[in-house]
Structure 1
Amino acid sequence: MCVMQIFAFYLFASIVLASGAFCIFARNPVHSVLWLILAFFNAAGLMVLVGAEFIAALLVIVYVGAVAVLFLFVVMMLDIDFAELRAGFMKHLPLGLLLAVILAAELIIFGVMSWSSAGMGDANAVVGLPEGAPSNIEQLGALLYTKYVFLFEAAGMILLVAMVGAIVLTHRTRSGVRKQNIADQVARRPEDATRNTQPEVGKGVEL
């Protein structure tokens, strides 16, 4: 492993740890989600360093592009009693710390074991690929479009049906809900929507 790879590893790892800590201890929940997004981006960088480009792409596309943004909108739009949440957090803090220590010990032990058995950080040995072998994205694509092509197409059709079903349920006719008329909005002229006025000083505008 060259010097740049070692530097990038420690840079990404330190930012992941720092952003994870800020995500937990931030008082504003919106800031917590933003720190979580930063942690996902740097975790994707770590995946690229070990040769797992597909997992890195999943972290950015799925977690950052969908899950984290969903969390952000939910946190911003819901009226949550954060005082009650903090009280529950303090109540279960000892159990959470115990689980965190156990998980950290497991990560450190297995990380040291895999590091030592893979030749002290050899990237190809860590990934398990010989020199000149195709990347995991190429191997995954070869499997998806040859051996599992019908299953892959079936999964795509199921997702397409689910998407169309969600659109149909959203646009169904419901009582008490005004339906949007796109044609009327497109055909509306600017002079029908706006009105230029010249009010006197201190008089204001009549609506």
Structure 2
Amino acid sequence: MHTTTALFYVFSAVLLFASFRVITARSPVYAALYLVLAFFSASCVWMLLRAEFLAISLVLVYVGAVMVLFLFVVMMLDINVDSLRVGFWKHFPVAAAVGVVIALEMALVLMPGFDVRTAPEADAAALKLGNTKLLGIEIYTHYLYPLQIAAVLLLVAIVAAIALTLRRRKDSKYLDPSEQIKAKKADRMRLVKMAPTVELPPAPEAATGEKA
């Protein structure tokens, strides 16, 4: 057995163990940490399969951003885990059956790609470009329109998430930028005409009596 094959089985075993602990850990913090371990193990497997771009993307995007957000939310919120686990074993058979069906469907789709005999012979010049560059050429040539559609869908999802979570408090004070742009000089300043001279008020009677 080669070193690469041994490492593949080790990382795969760690990945399966961490994935199992994600759904069985009682603490949500431990579940999130096991998910981080699962992501790291998956990235190591992808590195062994020479998919460097996917491995680095998994670490940077999911471990570096998404999981940090998950941990921050889980640690800041007081989640009642006992109420979430009510009826777990009641629905476990249905969930397990659905999981097995999904795993079989993914296996049917992905297994033909691992058959080296049916794979076309790759050009020697193309292999020198590297995995990341080949992936970029494939995405931006054959899958350009699906990529643009996915980008538009993500943009719509971001705008919808902001619109759904936007709440205006009644006691908060804010300025409308459109009203500021429409403001004119007459709305900001008002000229008042006043007389040039003002009559002095009469002197008090006590002061006039003392002078007399």
Q: CA deviation at 1:56?
A: 0.5
Tell me the alpha carbon deviations over residues 2-36 of structure 1, each in whole angstroms, 9 at most, x when there is no partner.
81221121111111001111111111111111110
The CA distance in 1 between the partners of 2:139 and 2:101, in whole Å, is 37
Q: Is the 8 A contact 2:53 2:132 kept in 1?
A: yes
The CA distance in 2 between the partners of 1:50 and 1:99, in whole Å, is 29
The CA distance in 2 between the partners of 1:142 and 1:118, in whole Å, is 22
* Residue 136 (structure 1) aligned with residue 131 (structure 2): yes
Q: CA deviation at 1:138?
A: 2.8
Q: CA deviation at 1:92?
A: 2.9
Task: Calculate the TM-score normalised by the size of structure 2.
Answer: 0.58
* Residue 77 (structure 1) aligned with residue 76 (structure 2): yes
Q: 1:141 to 1:102 in 2, by over 3 A?
A: closer
Tell me the alpha carbon deviations over residues 53-81 of structure 1, each in whole angstroms, 9 at most, x when there is no partner.
11111110000011111111111111111
Tell me which of the two structures has the higher relative contact order, counting C-alpha pairs closer than 8 angstroms and 6 or more residues apart: 1
Partner of 1:16: 15
The CA distance in 2 between the partners of 1:140 and 1:109, in whole Å, is 23
Instruction: Look at both structures and tell me which one has the larger radius of gyration over its CA atoms.
Output: 2
The CA distance in 1 between the partners of 2:99 and 2:37, in whole Å, is 21
Give the total of aligned pairs.
152
1:16 partner letter = L
Q: 1:36 to 1:129 in 2, by over 3 A?
A: farther
Q: CA deviation at 1:141?
A: 6.0
Partner of 2:25: 26
2:33 partner letter = L
SS of corresponding position for 2:21: helix
Q: Is the 8 A contact 1:45 1:56 kept in 2?
A: yes
Partner of 1:90: 89
Q: Is the 8 A contact 1:13 1:43 kept in 2?
A: yes
Alignment gaps of 5+ in structure 2: 145-150, 163-170, 174-212
Q: CA deviation at 1:119?
A: 4.5
Partner of 2:116: 118
Q: CA deviation at 1:130?
A: 4.6
97-106 or 12-21, larger mean C-alpha shift: 97-106
SS of corresponding position for 2:85: helix
SS of corresponding position for 1:51: coil
Q: CA deviation at 1:96?
A: 1.2
1:118 partner letter = V
